[in-house]
Structure 1
Amino acid sequence: MTLRTTARLGQDRAWDVASFAAPAMLLFASFILLPLLLAATATFTNHRLVSPEPTRFIGLDNYVRLLSVQTLSVEKETGSYPTWRETRQARPELAGYRPAFQLELGDTRYVLAARDPLFYRSLINTFLFAILVLPLQCGAALGLAILVNQKLRGRIFFRTVYFAPVVTSMVVASIVWSFLLNTDRGLINAILRVLLGNPELSPDWLGSPSLALPSIALMSAWQGAGFQMLVFLAGLQSIPHEQYEAATLMGANAWQRFVHVTLPGLRNTIIFVLVSTTLLAFGLFTQVDVMTLGGPLDSTSTVVYHAVRKGFEEQDIGYGSTITLVFFTIVLGVSLLQRRLGGNGGKT
């Protein structure tokens, strides 16, 4: 009797779990799994949004177009390097390739050429943005969390103020920062002129290839730090206060308590914040679309922006889907590696 009752309870519980999970699984299948399968299918076709030609199967042509690269070295001739056209004419295998990166060492120029060089420049820009925004945003979020975790008057007000940019539309925030970073009339340059006493000072924050991407990273860190602040704040409040008291009794100063109590207590929180922030950084699109349109000289073009431009502006859905799927694989690998390194970090 007991076994039969237990079995029935197990079946009822499984049915309850399935009933609760069904709506979520249906949404996941409709908005995640199905689009992913459709995109994967489109990568093997020449599908376009508007075209008189019917969609046809082209096999791996899109992948060959995206992943084909050539590395070569070019020597100086009569004091200067030959042009890319001259190099391509001398090497027939480079037909259809264009330089993505080049590096000069002595009298030799090393060139990475690709059929789609903008994809590789966009990939490098995406990783550079992640490298810039990760320490900036996560460091600011942790500092703010420690600050608003203190028992000070007005801490609720400051929590609200620091979180406010998160609920602001990214489009609105990007437009506002475009005005702030304006070369001639921007508030940031006006403040710098006053502080440095140089009325001629006018950095071109969004028009310089070396400043545009760091400027977007600064704006993105400002907009997103509030969310990570709340996550860190929850982690800080989960650390037993007795650990800080014990460390204080043992003579630990504030920095030692931070290193030996706070950071170990936030280990899982830090892993979550790093992984989530990395995923958000890899999805950079809105800021670029509003503030720079991928310029100047493609210095802010990202993989997502490149895929959207290929898929919708140029209406090449098949190739845009290929970019998306390859980038999804790269991001998945980076996330798994990050998670694995973070998981091993606490093992002795």
Structure 2
Amino acid sequence: MTDPSHPPQPTAAGGRSASPGITTTGTTTSRRANRRTVALMLTPALLLLALFLVLPFLLSIGLSVTNYNLLNRRAVTLFVGLANYASILEDERFWQAAWNTARFALVTVPVQSALALLLAVLVNSGLPGRNLFRGVYFLPTVLSMAVVSVIWAGLLRAPQGVLNALVGTLSGGVLGPYDWLGDETLAMPTIIVLSVWQGVGFQMVIYLAGLQSINAELYEAARIDGASRFQQFLHITLPSLRNTHVFVVLATTVLAFKLFGQVDVLTQGGPLDSTNTLVRYLFNSGFREHRVGFASAASVLFFLLVLGITLVQRALVREDREI
């Protein structure tokens, strides 16, 4: 008989008595140990972020409200409030640089992302020599933008450049020669083509990783149901790559707004500021004109602009997921 003063203890699977207190204590201790481990592993990365990102940005905010000049350090640095920001917003060159950067991003982001997805699908198929094509498509990404720009400068040289010779040959001498970098209407499209060619390999690799993570059984079931390749791509591949799309679009947008190297090497912002960008605008203000306070204000505005665009993109993606 069971003693009523000593009720039976609950038993776990297998007939052994459970020990809730010990289990809870052990779980809590394990969680605390995991948290300490995670915090310890994140500390170096967080310190580097604070040292090279957060601290410089805070210093930029402080300098943006002063008239600090890099060339004349003996001059007294004065507090000017929002005067630098007002001067930037009234500067036509700033708005021209902003429009050039926005135009570059509006074309580059969709074109480069779509082309990267197409290349990833091709190299992920069973085509012979696909490993060779992977290396060929990814090779420009490994090269420095300065090196790529110098190579393209020779190809685009007017009027005896390789590209002009090719256009003339293919057209029978009817077309060309063109001043690809000196013509106001051709300079920015040329920069766009160069940038897409150089950067598409990075997005291709990201899409390729996403494609290889899709369950092959989904495609097999679709083939059994009679779905065509295009239907499989439309209803399986694209939805399965949703997170990859988000990453590629956000990363490509940020990289597009950082446009600087190819412009500074090939066109120096010309002709007539038609290829000048926001990064080159603040670089010239700070390091060539030595107006550090003015350039700091420009960098703060640039950061807020990119942050705002990124938040809008994330919001749109979130709404698309909810739908």
TM-score (norm 2): 0.89
What is the CA distance between 1:261 and its match in structure 2?
1.5
Which residues of 2 match residues 16-55 of structure 1 at below 5 A? 16-51=37-72, 52-55=74-77
What is the CA distance between 1:151 and its match in structure 2?
1.7
CA radius of gyration, larger in? 2
| Corresponding letter in the other structure for 1:251 | G
Which residues of 2 match residues 289-300 of structure 1 at below 5 A? 289-300=264-275
Are the equivalent residues in 2 in contact too, given 1:132–1:214 (CA < 8 A)? no
| Corresponding letter in the other structure for 1:63 | Y
Write out per-residue CA displacement over residues 245-291 of structure 1, whole angstroms, 9 at most, x where no aligned residue: 22223332222222112111111111110110000000000011100
Corresponding residue number in structure 1 for 2:183: 208
Are the equivalent residues in 2 in contact too, given 1:49–1:315 (CA < 8 A)? yes
Write out per-residue CA displacement over residues 140-171 of structure 1, whole angstroms, 9 at most, x where no aligned residue: 21111011001233211111111111110110
Per mean C-alpha deviation after superposition, the further-off stretch among 245-254 and 127-136 is: 245-254
- Report the RMSD for the aligned CA atoms in angstroms: 1.5
Write out per-residue CA displacement over residues 205-250 of structure 1, whole angstroms, 9 at most, x where no aligned residue: 1111111111011101001100100100111111122222222233
Corresponding residue number in structure 2 for 1:119: 94
- The gaps in structure 1 that reach 5 residues or longer are 68-114
Report SS of the residue matched to 2:295: helix
Structure 1 residue 61 corresponds to structure 2 residue 49: no
What is the CA distance between 1:53 and its match in structure 2?
1.2
What is the CA distance between 1:186 and its match in structure 2?
1.4
Instruction: Give me the identity figure in percent.
Output: 46
Are the equivalent residues in 2 in contact too, given 1:49–1:317 (CA < 8 A)? yes
What is the CA distance between 1:6 and its match in structure 2?
4.2
In 2: Cα distance, 1:37 partner to 1:137 partner? 34
TM-score (norm 1): 0.83
Q: Which structure shows the higher strand fraction? A: 1
In 2: Cα distance, 1:280 partner to 1:191 partner? 31
Corresponding residue number in structure 1 for 2:125: 150
Change (3 A) 1:324 1:257: same
In 2: Cα distance, 1:265 partner to 1:60 partner? 47
What is the CA distance between 1:136 and its match in structure 2?
2.2
| Corresponding letter in the other structure for 1:31 | F
Change (3 A) 1:257 1:7: closer
Structure 2 counterpart of 1:273, from 221, 227, 248: 248
Report SS of the residue matched to 2:36: helix
Which residues of 2 match residues 239-250 of structure 1 at below 5 A? 239-250=214-225
Are the equivalent residues in 2 in contact too, given 1:295–1:301 (CA < 8 A)? yes
Change (3 A) 1:344 1:181: same
Corresponding residue number in structure 2 for 1:321: 296
- The gaps in structure 2 that reach 5 residues or longer are 1-20
Change (3 A) 1:31 1:253: same
Report SS of the residue matched to 1:346: helix
Bigger relative CO (Cα 8 Å, ≥ 6 apart):
2
What is the CA distance between 1:191 and its match in structure 2?
0.8
Are the equivalent residues in 1 in contact too, given 2:257–2:306 (CA < 8 A)? yes
What is the CA distance between 1:39 and its match in structure 2?
0.5
Are the equivalent residues in 2 in contact too, given 1:40–1:321 (CA < 8 A)? yes
Aligned residues: 301
| Corresponding letter in the other structure for 2:126 | K
Change (3 A) 1:326 1:199: same
